[in-house]
Amino acid sequence: MPVSLTSTTWALALTIIAGIASASAMSFEITPYPEHPNTTVVRANGTIEHGDTERFVDLLVTTPPSARILVITSLGGNVAAALALANEIEAREFSIMGDGECASACAQILFPAGFYSVLTPGSVLGIHSCSDASGRNDLCNKEIAKTAVKRGFPYVLISIEK
């Protein structure tokens, strides 16, 4: 009999499967845009964790930037937290500017959520598949691919056999 998973179940499963432990959550701040000092943007730096969506929204409410641009540097983090933050980025029509390294959940979930998504010169996207203690996790990979395709990004699951 097929099993039907709710979005809450997916979020819990993805958290357990692909979560990355971290000592510090992502920080958010309003900063001037370098090329246009009178324009302010949101800068995000660090590991994606639960609570980031709330911190992002709180910052926008208390100190709205003059441009809807999120400049981000992140090596990734919790998949479920990234999916929640990506939904907020998309709903608010923020563009994403990867600055430095945008890897894992940053590259595969947040970057595609932008109204426009660009990299600063010399920046990189780091893409890999989901895995857990038993190896590659196809359910997580398919969910991330489905989310990226929904946002207009071509996505291919790559399988390298040894």
Q: What is d(CA 90, CA 114) in angstroms, rounded to the nearest whole number? A: 6
pTM above 0.85, yes or no: no
Residues 6+ apart with CB under 8 A from 29: 42, 43, 59
Burial (CB count <10 Å: 0-12, 13-18, 19+), residue 100: middle
Higher-confidence residue of 86 and 127: namely 86
How is domain 7-150 classified at the CATH fold level?
2-enoyl-CoA Hydratase; Chain A, domain 1 (3.90.226)
Hunting for tokens 């949101």 — which residue is that? 42
State the Cα–Cα distance between residues 93 and 140, nearest whole angstrom: 25
Contact 104, 77 (CB under 8 A): yes
Read off the pLDDT of residues 45-97 as tens digits, 9 standing for 90 and up: 999 999 999 999 999 999 999 999 999 999 999 999 999 999 999 999 999 99
Nearest to 42 by CA among 82, 76, 92, 79: 92
Whether residue 136 has pLDDT greater than 90: no
Domain locations in the chain as residue ranges: 7-150
